[in-house]
Amino acid sequence: MWQTLAIASVFFPGLFALSVRSLGWAAPAWSLKDRILLTSRMVSSVQATMATVSGIIVVLNCKDVVHDRYWLAVEYVWVIVPYMIYDIYVMYLCHWHKSKDTSEKKHSLASVRSFLKKDRLMVTHHLFILVVLTPVAQYLRGELGDFFVGCLFVAELSTPFVSLGKILMQLKMQDTLLHKVNGILILVTFFLCRIVLFPFMYRAYARHTGIPIYMVPFHIPIHCNVANASLIAPQLYWFMLICRKAVRLYSSSPSDKNR
């Protein structure tokens, strides 16, 4: 636990700082803001890939979805904890650099309030994982449910595609075929891994216990239902936003863009 926490606490900030500096050498014309924005998305993709691979390994090694154990289901949570703290700070840093061009020239309490107001849903999501889900995953569930923890890790599969979409927009490549293909991948992976994932987990439990899927909420601990509901709610909202962007992306014609 402590070793994993220490390594992750150094790894993500270190990778971020090293990448920002490396981009400064590779692309000296880029501003610090551009380097920070791009690097934040790259590091996010690295963590998401690590989480997805860990989740797949856990799921494949837990044939009994309730009782089977696999060490990554516990250990990788201690990677997520420092990452979430790091990511909140980097989100603030990105917000500040974007706002610096308009009004906020220095770090201040006002800039923090502005960040919390603009990104309150994402910050709440991160804090929920830290304050609620971490105790549930590490202590309250006992020695049960590694399979379901692995499933939640797999939810990160969509993140690299979301990050790539933002990078392409930052590079002014939003009109390319790559951006459109990536948009489809975002829709598919987000829907499957962040929406369908939850009924999939309930169905897996139903098959294991031999009960109808609609009875599952009444057979599992209430904190599991609350945690799942709290997780899927923002995912539904974000998926709605993604669908709106997709409609704009795929419904616009070249002639519209040239007007």
Q: What is the pLDDT of residues 29-62, one digit of tens each?
A: 888 888 999 999 999 999 999 999 999 999 999 9
pLDDT band at 104 (very low <50, low <70, confident <90, very high): low
Residue-wise pLDDT tens digits, 143-187: 888 999 999 999 999 999 999 989 998 888 888 889 889 989 999
| Helical H segments across 157-221, by residue range | 159-170, 177-190, 197-209
Measuring CA to CA, which residue among 182, 187, 188 is closest to residue 161? 182
The single residue listed with the structure tokens 């494949």 is 60
The two structure tokens encoding residue 109: 């309490």
The single residue listed with the structure tokens 């709290």 is 230
Q: What is the DSSP string of 86-148?
A: HHHHHHHHHHHHHHHTTT--S--HHHHHHHHHHTHHHHHHHHHIIIIIHHIIIIITTT--HHH
pLDDT band at 105 (very low <50, low <70, confident <90, very high): low
pLDDT band at 255 (very low <50, low <70, confident <90, very high): very low
CA 185, CA 44: separation in Å to the nearest integer? 17
CA 23, CA 31: separation in Å to the nearest integer? 10
Non-local CB neighbours of 82 within 8 Å, separated by 6+ positions: 5, 8, 9, 12
Q: What is the pTM of this model?
A: 0.84
3-state secondary structure of 202: helix
93 — alpha (psi -120 to 50), left (phi > 0) or beta? alpha
CB of 153 closer than 8 Å to CB of 52: yes
The kind and range of the H/E element at 150 are: helix 146-154
3-state secondary structure of 221: coil
